[in-house]
Amino acid sequence: MSAKQAHIVLSIHLRTAPEATEAALKLNSHTLIVQASRLRKTYHSASDVEALRGVDLDIVRGEMLAVVGPSGSGKTTLLNCLSGLDRFDGGRVVVEGVDLAQMSDRERTAYRGSHMGFVFQAFNLLPVLTAVENVEIPLLLQGMGGREARRRALDMLETLGLANRAQHRPDTLSGGEQQRVAVARALVHRPAVVWADEPTGNLDTEVTEVIVELLIRMNREGQTIVLVTHNPVVAERARRVVRMRDGRIESQRAGEAIAAAERT
């Protein structure tokens, strides 16, 4: 698959397709990777819906952050606006010093491809491609040669325990295997941030634990991860939990695993 073909299929794919203590988090301008201020988003229909109502949020480099809240609270909208998948109506989002609002659609697409990774609830693997071909797409989009992209993709699949499934298409993989392939694709190009929207929503308890442990391991190695989840067990494994309600951040706190470690 050529880089041009990869760009086409990924573009189609994406279209179909967070009060921790100040001492604990030590926020400062040198460690922040994402800064959102007064972020607003309204969906216009028969009756306008304010999905985000002036959200302020800083995300620390190397943090694993979970966004929780009831359905319709604005969780996924927040993730999509922070990542540049959706336009927002007011406010500002800066990722690694880059102001997303000042970029054209083409520039945002290119920036996402090289600086961000995405994991979705529905896996969103391209069905006509094998596991390794799905994983190598971000590398091809960056202009990496086919041989090196294939080597890097195979190495990532091996790291995630999927070396023997590299040549299998998604319909021959289990749900857990498909999500691990999706995680491999999100991580293979070493992005600044991985955005995960309900990454365990379609998985059973045992497989959910496997995916969560995988994300935690990658986070311990320095990967910044922001995930939206309805699963409280998943959320409590994050370093910070942000709760949303009615388009606003209602509260922030350390995840239970971090709080327990600090108590001991």
Q: How far apart are CA 227 and CA 192, in angstroms?
A: 14
The alpha carbon torsion through 257, 261, 263, 264 (nearest 10 deg) reads 140
Q: For residue 259, what pLDDT is reported?
A: 55
Q: What is the pTM of this model?
A: 0.83
- CB count in 10 Å sphere of residue 123: 22
Q: How far apart are CA 59 and CA 25, in angstroms?
A: 10
In which band, very low, low, confident or very high, does the pLDDT at 150 lie, cut at 50, 70 and 90?
very high
In which band, very low, low, confident or very high, does the pLDDT at 45 lie, cut at 50, 70 and 90?
confident
The one-character DSSP state at 245 is: E
Q: Give the helix, strand, coil percentages of the chain, each rounded to 5.
A: 45, 25, 35
In which band, very low, low, confident or very high, does the pLDDT at 9 lie, cut at 50, 70 and 90?
very low
Q: For residue 30, what pLDDT is reported?
A: 55
What number is the average pLDDT over the span 166-192?
95
So where are the chain's domains? 3-25+62-86+103-263
Over 60: is that where the pLDDT of 26 sits? no
Q: For residue 202, what pLDDT is reported?
A: 85
Over 60: is that where the pLDDT of 27 sits? no
Q: For residue 261, what pLDDT is reported?
A: 55
Return the structure tokens found at 137. 């797409």
CATH of domain 3-25+62-86+103-263: 3.40.50.300
Return the structure tokens found at 132. 């390794």
Q: Are 185 and 137 in contact (CB under 8 A)?
A: yes
Q: How far apart are CA 26 and CA 62, in angstroms?
A: 12
Of residues 31 and 73, more confidently modeled? 73
